[in-house]
């Protein structure tokens, strides 16, 4: 049971490049989330998926797209990276929609956009 895994752990992009951050969980959870963490701003929700096949915007969705490929996997895509997207990205997984016991975070992806 690996919990929540994220790849890559580190990435450097040039402005305008695209990339996909991968997230997978093996806990059979329904809900999955993508957050970004910036100094002094705490964790902000980018997108979330309450269940397989559904996705919804969070607090800061602009510049991102997501895909809930199946119950296990939830990817975050930057189509044209910008320096403002330099951040640490965390994927999280929750057992049920709004009633749950624990939240699990992935190890994070540290992204730098030059």
Partner 1 sequence: KNEVEQSPQNLTAQEGEFITINCSYSVGISALHWLQQHPGGGIVSLFMLSSGKKKHGRLIATINIQEKHSSLHITASHPRDSAVYICAVLSSNTGKLIFGQGTTLQVKP
Residues that bind partner 1 (CB under 8 A): 33, 40-45, 48, 50, 58, 90, 97-108
Calpha distance 79→45 (Å, rounded):
18
Q: CB of 70: closest distance to partner 1 in angstroms? A: 22
Q: CB of 67: closest distance to partner 1 in angstroms? A: 20
H or E element, residue 48: strand 42-49
Going by C-alpha positions, the residue among 66, 111, 106 that lies closest to residue 88 is 111
Which one, 58 or 63, has the nearer CB to partner 1?
58
Q: CB of 50: closest distance to partner 1 in angstroms? A: 8
């Amino acid at each position: 049971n690996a919990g929540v895994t994220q790849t890559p752990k580190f990435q450097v992009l040039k402005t305008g490049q695209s990339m996909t951050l991968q997230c997978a969980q093996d806990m059979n959870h329904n809900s999955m989330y993508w957050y970004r963490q910036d100094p002094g701003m705490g964790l902000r929700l980018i997108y979330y998926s309450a269940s397989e096949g559904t996705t919804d915007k969070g607090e800061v969705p602009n510049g991102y797209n997501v895909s809930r490929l199946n119950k296990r996997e939830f990817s975050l895509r930057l189509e044209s990276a910008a320096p403002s997207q330099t951040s640490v990205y965390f994927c999280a997984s929750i057992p049920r929609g709004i009633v749950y016991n624990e939240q699990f975070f992935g190890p994070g992806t540290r992204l730098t956009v030059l």
